Structure 1
Amino acid sequence: MPFWQNRSSSCIQQQSLIVNTHLLFPHDHSLSIVRLKQVYKILQYIEAYQEEHKLGPMPIILCGDWNGSKRGQVYKFLRSQGFVSSYDTAHQYSDSEEDAHKWVSHRNHRGNICGVDFIWLLNPNKSRKPLKTSWNEAVFGIIKYLLLQVASLSEENAFALLKADSPDDQITYSSFCQALCQLGMVHPDRLNSEEIKDLWSEADHDGDDIVDYKEFQRCIWSPTCCSQEEEDDTEIDISDGSLVTFEANDEAFGFTVKEAVLFPPEVEKGMWPENYSLSDHAPLTVVFSPVRMPCSPRTPRTP
């Protein structure tokens, strides 16, 4: 999508990518992987689209109902890819547990109130992990959640489940696949055979065809999918139409979040007014302003 920047008597056209989506509702725990995979496919498509059309660095905006809160793996996955929540950025909320429930945007059919509507922003100055790396880390996070929270297993018992009848306290590929089936993660719209092999390669760090206890701890029990560290980005506001010159290879245009508002006002305090019947979602409005910023080198696309 183009946006226009005035420069004296002329206009300079810049580009941005905007995607809108609505992820699957989490009817049960096994569908967490489905929502994560939906986001993975969106990001894969964006990478392929940029490559196919030879697009230069530009801001990317993802909008929609993500059917998951700031505590979920979808949120962590997008953060690991450099995206920021526009509303949280505008209100200076962090990724901490303390800030996870300061606002809500939806009352679902079960009567629960939660924050699931996001407008995500990725600027061209953000460094990003390889997409497949972030995906694997997020999947391991879901595996741990299913083992710990759903199956109520301790670390030792989780390892025992994954190794099944394998000798010498080690997980084999066969026992790993068997455990994923038990956890309900093996299905064409969840994990396919190729994705399971990728996970196994990530877990089998030394490539000896087994996963020992240390590798289990490193990849499965303590996955590193976490929030992208904020950087000290040098940005120059160009919203007043002033002349800006830059080297195309070094700099690009992005956005800063000027304002973000949820309606009705009560939802910004984590409450849902009983007399609000216009929708079961609170509309989110974000105002962006174009800025000039240095580019971060793009990570090569993974197949």
Structure 2
Amino acid sequence: MVRRKSMLKGRISRIGRYAIASSITDQCITCTTFNILAPIYKRLSDEDQDGRESDYRAFWLARNQRILDWLLRERSTIICLQEFWVGNDELVSMYEKRLGDAGYNNFQLARTNNRGDGLLTAVHRDYFNVINHRDLLLNDIGDRVAQLLHVELVNPFCQNRSTNVGQEILIVNTHLLFPHDSRLCLVRLHQVYEILQNVESYQKEFKLNPMPILLCGDWNGSKRGHVYKLLRSQGFVSSYDTAHQYTDADAHKWVSHRNHRGNICGVDFIWLRNPNKCLKLLKTSWNETVFSMFKSLLRRASLTDYDAFAFLKADSGGDYITYSCFCEALRQLNLAGHPYGLSEEEMKDLWVQADIDGNGLLDYSEFQERIWNAEDSDDDGSVHGSDVHDTVQAIGFSVKNAVLFPTEVEKGMWPEDYSLSDHARLTVVFSPVRMPCSQMIF
């Protein structure tokens, strides 16, 4: 413990002009997420669209050495990297050696179908024992993957640790699909839903007590999107926005990526869900988020609520919506009818949720309650009653600080002289806190 304290006191973790070290105590953990831009994707110039950094060893080697220098200087306890060039043995060995020598356990996962890049998650041995890890292969377009790590704190967060206080954390690292067209927004939502299903299944399989969950990575979408709504509905908060006391309306105040179209946007997140959150059923959150997407598309067509109802009921012959008309509307709005749209089963689930009285038809009041005004519903769908058992003690996290580098991105600007990646690096400082939680029966 003495060695660990002295090591922490000597660690000066600077990101731009900010000193993260001022936020760190011997109780804190830090987490960094960074899309490091795989050399196979990095263009060397706008004029030569076919040239890639991967063709020039000196270039990609020097840039990745600088990335490692930054990471090792910050010495975060958790490091989550995206676009890690798993297809190059020399680069992989360099990361393994330098991170391994610095005390990290490293886990890599390649994207499916030999895409060349993937994920790397590293956790420091001085802070965590790795209990288990899983590779999640997301079955969709784009060959996306995720990593799930189940870790335990090496040292208790308080000296008088009670034996019934959990000291475990679930960490997820992922990189979602870029929405090249509007139809792919639903794919990204599917990807997150599948990740959350895997996390939930893992917790049930091992009958885990409540614990904090960190979702890290490049989400290729902002706080304005439906992925954000789904995560919020499941109790997750954006750590960076929490640290800076930003609301949902403050999405424009920071960016973290300049994409291949030249647009700047905030897409890199470390989501936190503490174990004391009262949760909706995951399927309920999914259905509500899809209805929200449905409603957004209707509003984008400048339809009022009654016009939208008329669009859905089409020529049904009565003042109601039939299931066939409902499915046809989903197809017309590009939410179904193509390889990565809603499945028949998913459409049926949506219909069952919307058909409140179960008579096989949607009248105007059901349409308003379940689709048009769904986000205003007072029913939170929380897990309660027979699903909850005794109260247990667990650790949670408070967000002490969060910083993006380069510092200009915290003001919504992208510096032209930044060449480390096309993404900013996000580091968050968490402080463990004790909290009572309801133990779930699995």
TM-score, with length taken from structure 1: 0.85
Match of 1:120 among 259, 264, 271: 271
Q: Secondary structure of 2:260's match?
A: coil
Q: Offset at 1:138? A: 0.3
Match of 2:308 among 148, 155, 158: 158
Q: 1:73 to 1:296 in 2, by over 3 A?
A: farther
Answering whether residue 403 of structure 2 is matched by residue 253 of structure 1, we say: no
Q: 1:55 to 1:107 in 2, by over 3 A?
A: same
Identify the structure with bigger relative contact order (alpha carbons < 8 Å, sequence gap 6+): 1
d(CA) in 1 for partners of 2:422 and 2:305?
40
d(CA) in 1 for partners of 2:160 and 2:359?
65
d(CA) in 2 for partners of 1:261 and 1:198?
41
| Structure 2 gap ranges (5+) | 1-150, 381-389
Q: Offset at 1:8? A: 5.1
Q: Is the 2:174–2:218 Cα contact (8 Å) retained in structure 1?
A: yes
Match of 2:359 among 205, 208, 211: 208
d(CA) in 1 for partners of 2:400 and 2:269?
16
Q: Is the 1:37–1:190 Cα contact (8 Å) retained in structure 2?
A: no
Match of 2:180 among 16, 23, 27: 27
Answering whether residue 90 of structure 2 is matched by residue 90 of structure 1, we say: no
Partner of 1:5: 155
Q: Secondary structure of 2:417's match?
A: coil
Q: Secondary structure of 2:427's match?
A: strand
Q: Offset at 1:225? A: 7.5
Answering whether residue 319 of structure 2 is matched by residue 169 of structure 1, we say: yes
d(CA) in 1 for partners of 2:174 and 2:319?
44
Q: Secondary structure of 1:278's match?
A: coil
User: After TM superposition, where is structure 1 displaced by more than 4 Å over at least 4 residues in a row?
Assistant: 7-13
Aligned residues: 277
Q: How does 1:14-93 map to 2 (within 5 A)?
A: 14-93=167-246
Q: Is the 2:392–2:439 Cα contact (8 Å) retained in structure 1?
A: no
Partner of 1:144: 295
Q: Is the 1:107–1:113 Cα contact (8 Å) retained in structure 2?
A: yes
The superposition leaves residues 183-208 of structure 1 with CA deviations (integer Å, 9 ceiling, x where unpaired) of 11124533111111110011111111
Q: Offset at 1:24? A: 1.1
Q: 1:11 to 1:292 in 2, by over 3 A?
A: closer
Larger mean CA deviation between 80-89 and 217-226 belongs to 217-226
Q: Is the 1:20–1:63 Cα contact (8 Å) retained in structure 2?
A: yes
Q: Offset at 1:76? A: 1.1
TM-score, with length taken from structure 2: 0.59
Aligned residues: CA RMSD: 2.2
Q: Offset at 1:59? A: 0.6
| Structure 1 gap ranges (5+) | 230-247
Q: Is the 2:210–2:439 Cα contact (8 Å) retained in structure 1?
A: no
| Structure number, greater radius of gyration | 2
Query: Which amino acid in 1 is paired with 2:246?
Result: Y
Query: Which amino acid in 2 is paired with 1:275?
Result: D
Q: How does 1:93-104 map to 2 (within 5 A)?
A: 93-95=246-248, 97=249, 99-104=250-255
Answering whether residue 437 of structure 2 is matched by residue 295 of structure 1, we say: yes
